[in-house]
A = this chain, B = another copy of it.
């Protein structure tokens, strides 16, 4: 009997009890993949690329990870170990705000994370620890369970959106040739007089608040609206 092991990454033991000892490890593979993703984006994280970076053949990676999706899952949970989950001082709102700040920090450090968190929530131990911490902050709040879950989900979603907005506006991700391809139509349409309100909004003076304060107020506003007391 070929020892059918669980389909779930987190249930599967890293190393089986018999056979040659593996030349690599999950964390080694994960850190290699993380480095690639941080530097060249998630699209650069291919099985072959990670394998080469670790120093093994491409097919060997499948001894550690069942699919490319699982590799991403592993990356997400590995990066989730960077959370500082010490419960903050203050009421539920302050504690959740602290967790949201942690999320923002993580998404800024690893730009590939933000889109993923919305599409494909991670279910690994570290990710669940974060979720658990958030729910612990809501323990004494009088809200039905699913509502609490939704509140946390929306909070990270808002964080993700904020970070992506933030980095898109401040970080010139494009090579900036002359008028970098994309958006060329925009400028033309704006000068042609279509979208007058858009033109007005874009030429308007920049907002007065620092991004940190903006973020704080957005999260706080959402939480109070959702019924989370301070």
* Segment of A27-35, A53-61, A98-106, A151-159 engaged in the interface with chain B: A151-159
Cα distance, A162 to B156, chains bound together (Å): 11
Tally of chain A residues near chain B (CB < 8 A): 66
* Residue among A9, A119, A201 with most chain B CB within 10 A: A201
Taking the closest CB of chain B, its distance from the CB of A129, in whole angstroms, is: 8
A19 at the interface (CB under 8 A from B): no
**Contact A201 B148, CB 8 Å, known A123-B186, A128-B189, A164-B119:** yes
**Contact of A164 with B225 in the complex, beta carbons under 8 Å:** no
Q: Mark A159-171, 1 if CB is under 8 A from B, else 0.
A: 0111011000000
**Set of chain B residues within 8 Å of A7, measured between Cβ atoms:** 181, 184
**Contact A205 B119, CB 8 Å, known A185-B11, A198-B128:** no
Interface set, chain A 177-230, CB cutoff 8 A to B: 181-186, 188-189, 194-198, 200-208, 214, 217-218, 220-222, 224-226
* Segment of A44-52, A79-87, A89-97, A139-147 engaged in the interface with chain B: A139-147
**Contact A128 B186, CB 8 Å, known A154-B218, A158-B157, A201-B146:** yes
Taking the closest CB of chain B, its distance from the CB of A150, in whole angstroms, is: 6
Cα distance, A222 to B218, chains bound together (Å): 8
Cα distance, A136 to B205, chains bound together (Å): 18
A118 at the interface (CB under 8 A from B): yes
**Contact of B184 with A6 in the complex, beta carbons under 8 Å:** yes
A36 at the interface (CB under 8 A from B): no
Cα distance, A206 to B148, chains bound together (Å): 11
Taking the closest CB of chain B, its distance from the CB of A173, in whole angstroms, is: 11
**Contact of B161 with A153 in the complex, beta carbons under 8 Å:** yes
**Set of chain B residues within 8 Å of A222, measured between Cβ atoms:** 221-222, 225
Chain A residues proximal to chain B, CB less than 8 Å: 6-11, 115, 118-119, 123, 125, 128-129, 131-132, 135-136, 138-139, 144-150, 153-154, 157-158, 160-162, 164-165, 181-186, 188-189, 194-198, 200-208, 214, 217-218, 220-222, 224-226
13 CB contacts below 8 A, A to B, read A8-B183, A115-B118, A123-B182, A125-B189, A131-B195, A132-B198, A135-B197, A138-B197, A154-B158, A154-B165, A157-B158, A158-B158, A221-B226
